Structure 1
Amino acid sequence: MHDFLPYAWFKGKCVPFDEAKISIATHALHYGTAAFGGMRAIPDPSDNGNFLLFRADKHAKRLSQSAKLLLTELSERYILQSIETWLKANKPSKPIYIRPFVYTSDLGIAPRLHNIETDFFIYGLELGDYLSPEGVSCRISSWKRQEDCSLPLRGKISGAYITSSLAKTEAVLTGFDEALLLNSQGKVSEASGMNLFIVRDGNLITPGTDQDILEGITRASVIEIANYLGINVIERPVDKTELFIADEVFLTGTAAKITPIKQIESTLLNTELPIMNKLRDYLISITENKEDKFSNWITSIKIS
């Protein structure tokens, strides 16, 4: 059972969550013609009246760009203003996950993106750890990550997540927590909804943006933090066999934060993860607005 926040942003205003309803004929429901974002927000540890959003500007920019891929306009400013109004209406007291969503709201049967109405909503729920911070087991999925020439993978297009759904369920039903997807060239791409990093000989390595990955905001943040901490970062193709011999393997994402992988297929991985732990501790400190160097990553909103 999800603890949804009491209000949604729907058709330009805050309404009770249960009243935010769409028709069964909604175009996006049938054709996946929608895009979403995912943001985390936490109570300010030093001030009970404030809520802290992590990299809200980057999330708003990516969602605005995703909307453009659906041939519609949704400004970053409107996204951020709507989230602030919605947050103040809900007055949450625990860490939350925010889901802004742009979609084709027309009631039609033709698959298209021209001459069609679009709309935007926001809802949220209380969320602690999406994946176990102690680590997860993964399998290599039989499903391949799509190619950018077939789907606009730089956007969080809802229809693209059928592959993630198939891969995640395949993993869980075969005894694993999560799936790792290879791309069409047989290189490691990402997990069902997270980016992947490995550590080899002190180098932090991650598949580049040319490997059909989502341009993850947490991923980009980890790279920037690593550079600041003097950790060498390499963006390049990653082979499947590297996963089994890497010194450290971990996932990053808004929901997952930084989560270690403790097992891939039948292979148990290292449990000593000094670089990952250093990055995770620093990221947590940033999200709690305790690092002046990265204070511009945090948006503080007064909700009471």
Structure 2
Amino acid sequence: MHNFLPFAYFEGQFIPFESAKLSIATHALHYGTGAFGGLRGIPDPQHPHQILLFRLDRHCKRLSDSARFLQFDLPASTIESIIVEFVKKNQPTTSFYIRPFVYTSDLGIAPRLHNVAKDFFVYGLELGDYLSPEGVSCRISSWYRQEDRSLPLRGKISGAYITSSLAKTEAVGAGFDEAILMNAQGKVSEASGMNVFIVRHGQIITPGYEQDILEGITRDSILTVARDLGIPVVERPIDKSELLIADEVFLSGTAAKVTPVRRIENYELPSHRPITDKLREKLTAITENRDPQYQAWVSVVSLS
């Protein structure tokens, strides 16, 4: 059961969440011609009546870029100002998740992006841990990550998430928590909605953009923080066998944050995860605005 925030931004205005309705004939519903973002917000632990948003500018820029694939000109600055007003309107009191969404809003039946109306909405819900912070089990999915030559993987296109949904349900049905998808070349790509990292011999290794991954904002944050901490980072293809003998494996994403992997298939991974734990603690301090070095990553919204 989700606890949705009371107000949504819909069709150019803020209205009660339960009043934001779409027609069953909406173009995006039939063809997956939408794109979404997702960012977390938390009440400032140090200052009442303030909300902290992690890397708001990057999230808005990525959604603006995704909208361009739909031939929709939606400036990042417009998205950002609406999200700030959305937070002020809702006055959240606990950790929450914001879902902005751009979509083809016409009621037509032809699969196209030209001569079709587009729109933008925002809603939110209370959200704690998306995955267990104690660690998750993963299955290697029988479904493969799409290729950029057939689908614009630099955007969070809604239609692309059928593959993630198939992989996630397959994994859960087989008794696992999460799925890891390979790409068409048989290399590790990503999880159902998270980027994948392994640690071997003191190095952090993660698939590069050429492995058909999403350009994750949490991923980028982890790579920056790791380099600043002096931890070696390598972006390169990862074989399935490397997952099974890694010293540490973890997933990253806006919802998942930094989530350790404790088992892949029937291979138990080490429970001692010093690098994963260090990065998770560092990211938590940053998102709570307790790290002066990364204060530029945190947007402060005053509710008073």
Please report the TM-score for the alignment, with normalisation by the length of structure 1: 1.00
* 1:57 matched residue in structure 2: 57
- The CA distance in 2 between the partners of 1:36 and 1:274, in whole Å, is 33
- The CA distance in 2 between the partners of 1:16 and 1:250, in whole Å, is 38
Q: How many residues align?
A: 304
* 2:76 matched residue in structure 1: 76
* 1:289 matched residue in structure 2: 289
- The CA distance in 2 between the partners of 1:183 and 1:39, in whole Å, is 26
- The CA distance in 1 between the partners of 2:253 and 2:103, in whole Å, is 23
* CA-CA distance at 1:184 after TM superposition: 0.1
* CA-CA distance at 1:303 after TM superposition: 1.3
* CA-CA distance at 1:48 after TM superposition: 1.2
* 1:6 matched residue in structure 2: 6
**One-letter amino acid of the structure 2 residue matched with residue 80 of structure 1:** E
- Aligned to 2:210, the other structure's residue is in SS state coil
- Aligned to 1:123, the other structure's residue is in SS state strand
Write out per-residue CA displacement over residues 36-90 of structure 1, whole angstroms, 9 at most, x where no aligned residue. Answer: 0000000001111100000000000000000001111111111011011111111
* 2:239 matched residue in structure 1: 239
**One-letter amino acid of the structure 1 residue matched with residue 95 of structure 2:** P
**One-letter amino acid of the structure 1 residue matched with residue 23 of structure 2:** S
* CA-CA distance at 1:207 after TM superposition: 0.2
**One-letter amino acid of the structure 2 residue matched with residue 208 of structure 1:** G
* CA-CA distance at 1:294 after TM superposition: 0.4
* CA-CA distance at 1:11 after TM superposition: 1.0
- Aligned to 2:144, the other structure's residue is in SS state coil
- The CA distance in 2 between the partners of 1:11 and 1:298, in whole Å, is 28
* 1:261 matched residue in structure 2: 261
- Aligned to 1:143, the other structure's residue is in SS state strand
- The CA distance in 2 between the partners of 1:87 and 1:244, in whole Å, is 42
* CA-CA distance at 1:120 after TM superposition: 0.3
* C-alpha RMSD over aligned residues: 0.4
Write out per-residue CA displacement over residues 168-202 of structure 1, whole angstroms, 9 at most, x where no aligned residue. Answer: 00000010000000000000000000000000000
- The CA distance in 2 between the partners of 1:165 and 1:48, in whole Å, is 38
- Aligned to 2:282, the other structure's residue is in SS state helix
**One-letter amino acid of the structure 1 residue matched with residue 29 of structure 2:** L
- Aligned to 1:133, the other structure's residue is in SS state coil
Alignment of 1:85-100 (within 5 A): 85-100=85-100
- The CA distance in 2 between the partners of 1:158 and 1:303, in whole Å, is 32
Write out per-residue CA displacement over residues 260-303 of structure 1, whole angstroms, 9 at most, x where no aligned residue. Answer: 00000001101100011111100000000011110000000001
- Aligned to 1:204, the other structure's residue is in SS state strand
**One-letter amino acid of the structure 1 residue matched with residue 67 of structure 2:** A
- Aligned to 1:241, the other structure's residue is in SS state helix
Q: Which runs of 5+ in 1 are unaligned?
A: none
Alignment of 1:1-304 (within 5 A): 1-304=1-304
